[in-house]
Amino acid sequence: MSPTPPIRRSYETLFKRHLGNPILTAEMWPYPAHTVFNAGATRLEDGTTLLLVRVEDRTGQSHLTAARSKNGIDEWIIDAQPTLAPDPVNHPEEIWGIEDPRITWLSDLGQYAIAYTAFSTSGPGVSLALTKDFKTFERKGLVMQPDDKDAALLPHKIDGNFAMIHRPVNDHGAHIWISYSPDLENWGQHKMMLRARKGSWWDANKIGLSPPLIETPRGWLMLYHGVRNTCAGSLYRLGLALFALDKPEVCLLRGDEWIFAPQTEYEKTGDVDNVAFPCGFTIGADGDTINLYYGAADTSMALATGSIKALLEWLDQHGRPPPAVLTR
Ligand code: BMA
């Protein structure tokens, strides 16, 4: 029998905001930019933290630009020009810009995979690009047709196939799915991973993957955003779930409560108020610290740190296997 959880006097703080937030703003950009947010993140071989930042200009369209820092906190060196710009001539699906990249190091290929939103005239879809150095890119093109977004690859193959998480939308809702591919181009074996809940739940209206999954000995840890529509607009908050290592579509535990929500001025006020939207993380040298990079109010970039161990402990106390159908 599991031990009785201690009585709670307040909610746990699982992610601590960096006091210097926001860590990246449009004012720091080497060229005109309106907002900088929703960056993918990775740590390069030499220890440098690289953020691939979504930059929106005054046309309203977005491109991606790399910012590099030795400590992942400050002294960012930002590319002087867009690092990955939309290419509507060869990729018409990018006509209205490219957004929200998630980066995964694929050890099988010795390359980084970037899954990003391509904003086409039919809506947002998922595109993939590969790179070794964040200077040159091999575009794989649109791999999931609109409406689909919030995608990231798993870092290694599952049963001989690449795996990608994504969030298609249809009349039946916006839920998180996983699909498999032998070659990163042909995708199949589509499986539902996690459903948006209903009614008054904090994650009732839409859910989507936030950063790529975090691999732990106990399973794949997922931070996902849940959206609740209110009369005052949408609220974006973060929840936690754990999936089986060998069968990532199997959810082992899902927390009922959100664990992170817009609270500070830079998260509550901006182009889109009340948004905390992480698209990337790095792991600290201790193997436990999560540096979570998130877009704040679709305006700037912020950083918060958490612990894998603490997240798993929280899920043990506050999570449960999801029922087959969530109608409550
Ligand atoms: C989502 C995405 C994000 C954005 C968020 C809040 O649907 O488009 O890029 O940060 O909405 O506006």
| Integer Cα distance of 111 and 104 in angstroms | 9
| Integer Cα distance of 34 and 160 in angstroms | 43
pLDDT, tens digit (0-9, with 9 covering 90-100), for 154-174 = 999 999 999 999 999 999 999
User: Separation of 309 CA from ligand 1 center, angstroms?
Assistant: 29
- Banded model confidence at residue 2, pLDDT cuts 50, 70, 90: low
- What pLDDT is recorded for position 232? 87
Residues paired with residue 276 on neighbouring β-strands, in sequence order:
296
66 neighbors 88 (Cβ within 8 angstroms): no
Query: Ligand 1 atom closest to Cα of 275?
Result: 6
Fold of 31-322: Tachylectin-2; Chain A (2.115.10)
Amino acid identity, residue 188? G
- What pLDDT is recorded for position 327? 43
Comparing 325 with 216, the larger pLDDT belongs to: 216
Rounded average pLDDT over 37-61: 98
Which residue of 147, 272, 300 sits with most ligand 1 atoms within 8 Å of its CB, as the best mutation to test the pocket?
A: 272
User: Separation of 227 CA from ligand 1 center, angstroms?
Assistant: 10
Residues 6+ apart with CB under 8 A from 200: none
Residue 146 has pLDDT above 90, yes or no: yes
| Integer Cα distance of 259 and 268 in angstroms | 16
Which residue of 116, 126, 166, 236 sits with most ligand 1 atoms within 8 Å of its CB, as the best mutation to test the pocket?
A: 236
User: Separation of 3 CA from ligand 1 center, angstroms?
Assistant: 40
User: Separation of 273 CA from ligand 1 center, angstroms?
Assistant: 11
Structure tokens at 117: 């939103």
23 neighbors 302 (Cβ within 8 angstroms): yes
- What pLDDT is recorded for position 323? 75
Helix (H) or strand (E) holding 277: strand 276-283
Amino acid identity, residue 23? I
Neighbour tally for 48: CB within 10 Å:
14
- What pLDDT is recorded for position 9? 83
Residues of the chain above pLDDT 70, percent: 97
Residue 328 has pLDDT above 60, yes or no: no
Rounded average pLDDT over 269-293: 97
| Integer Cα distance of 143 and 159 in angstroms | 20
* 108-112, 198-202, 320-324: segment of lowest average pLDDT: 320-324
Query: In angstroms, how far is the first alpha carbon of the chain from the final one?
Result: 27
Task: Write down the pTM of the prediction.
Answer: 0.96
Cα distances (angstroms) measured from residue 64 to each of 38, 98, 132, 163: 10, 7, 16, 24
pLDDT, tens digit (0-9, with 9 covering 90-100), for 281-290 = 999 999 999 9
227 neighbors 290 (Cβ within 8 angstroms): no
- Banded model confidence at residue 4, pLDDT cuts 50, 70, 90: low
213 neighbors 221 (Cβ within 8 angstroms): yes
Q: Which residues of 249-275 are buried (b: 16+ CB within 10 A; e: fewer)?
A: bebbbbbeebbbebeeebbeebebbbb
Mean pLDDT of all residues belonging to the chain? 95
Which residue of 54, 96, 100, 269 sits with most ligand 1 atoms within 8 Å of its CB, as the best mutation to test the pocket?
A: 100
pLDDT, tens digit (0-9, with 9 covering 90-100), for 240-249 = 999 999 999 9
User: Separation of 199 CA from ligand 1 center, angstroms?
Assistant: 22
